[in-house]
Amino acid sequence: MNKGISYITVGCRELPCRLTMGAMLLYKRNMQKDVSQMSGGDIEELLMFMWCCVKCACKADGVDFETDFETFCCQITPDDLNVWNEAMAQSGEDKKK
């Protein structure tokens, strides 16, 4: 059972997107700070975190994902970001139960 796996649409592709240790490490390497220090109002930080979650979930699942960060951002809409934020918040609530 793959608990915690969700998918988002990037461009015209449905891709896995979930929080992994790899995503947190990739975020830290790119932003030079931990996810726990992320500012919720900083759009670049949110998009970087989203990109890291997609990139690492794809890598773990063997899904081809060679999209760089800037191209990824060009393919994401504000609605996509809102849906992702809601899914992440729901996932966090589910883990508290």
Tell me the per-residue pLDDT of 6-37, one tens digit each, with 9 for 90 and over. 888 888 899 999 999 999 999 999 999 999 99
Residue 23 lies in a domain: yes
Give how far Cα 9 sits from Cα of 3, 34, 46, 48, 76, Å: 19, 26, 16, 16, 8
Tell me the per-residue pLDDT of 74-83, one tens digit each, with 9 for 90 and over. 999 998 888 8
User: What is the C-alpha to C-alpha distance for residues 69 and 89, in angstroms, rounded to an integer?
Assistant: 23
Tell me the per-residue pLDDT of 35-78, one tens digit each, with 9 for 90 and over. 999 887 899 999 999 999 999 999 999 999 999 999 999 999 99
Residue 85 lies in a domain: no
Predicted pLDDT of residue 2: 45
Residue 38 lies in a domain: yes
Residue 4 lies in a domain: no
- Cα-flanking dihedrals φ and ψ of residue 21, to 5°? -60, -35
User: What is the C-alpha to C-alpha distance for residues 61 and 6, in angstroms, rounded to an integer?
Assistant: 12
Q: pTM for the full model?
A: 0.85
User: What is the C-alpha to C-alpha distance for residues 45 and 4, in angstroms, rounded to an integer?
Assistant: 22
Q: Is the pLDDT confidence value at 96 over 80?
A: no
Residue 3 lies in a domain: no
Say which residues have a Cβ less than 8 Å from residue 54's Cβ, sequence separation at least 6: 8, 10, 15, 16, 17, 65, 72
Domain that holds residue 25: 13-65
Residue 2 lies in a domain: no
